[in-house]
Every structure is written in structure tokens, then in C-alpha cells.
Amino acid sequence: MRAFCPNCEAITAQEFIQAEEYILVDNEPILIHLRYYVCLECGEDYEMPSADYDPLRELYEKLGLKTYEDRKAFFNVHHIAFNIWQMAKLNNRNSSPTS
């Protein structure tokens, strides 16, 4: 498939990925359903915003996170990202060597 890549800012070949992953919250695995695209030119991934897609909906429901403020506070405390881009940024920050 060819589509616009927000990373390359060009029309590129892309692959649609659907996967199930678990995240651990307080040592309890919670299943999340991921849907995202990978640009075959630059190798970066990105999500397409959609009203009917929230990979963390089950997490929100289990933890009783009803408002945006509740979610933001939870994510800040547990260092969980809101999207794939933020997760990559967190991973890079956590794995970078400190001087």
C-alpha cells in the first residue's frame, strides 16, 4: 500500500500492522490491541487517529481512568506513553547513557 508518511512527508510504500501486546501495570498484564502503519521507506511507524480506536481503552476501564486528567496523571506516574511516538521517545530517553 502507498500512503502519506508523516515522518517522510511523502507518499511512500507502507505496511499496516495489527498486533496484540501486553503491558504490565502493578504486575498485572493488560492486553492492548495495536493498529499502526510502518513506512517501508524510512522505517518509522505512526498511528492514524480514529474515534473508534484506542488501544488502551481496556486499561482505562480496568483502572477506572474516566477523564483525560486521570489518564494523564496515571501515565506520568507509570511512565507510559499515549501513543507509539511517545513510547519511542520514552524508550530512547530511558536507554540513553548519562554522563
Q: pLDDT digits over 28-42, tens only?
A: 888 888 889 999 999
Does residue 63 have a pLDDT over 80? yes
Cell of 29: 498484564
| Across 34-51, average pLDDT | 88
Instruction: For residue 49, give the 3-state DSSP assignment.
Output: coil
What is the rounded CA–CA span in Å between residue 66 and residue 48? 23
What is the predicted pLDDT for the residue at 99?
45
Query: Model confidence at 57, in pLDDT bands (50, 70, 90)?
Result: confident
**17-21, 49-53, 78-82: range with lowest mean pLDDT:** 78-82
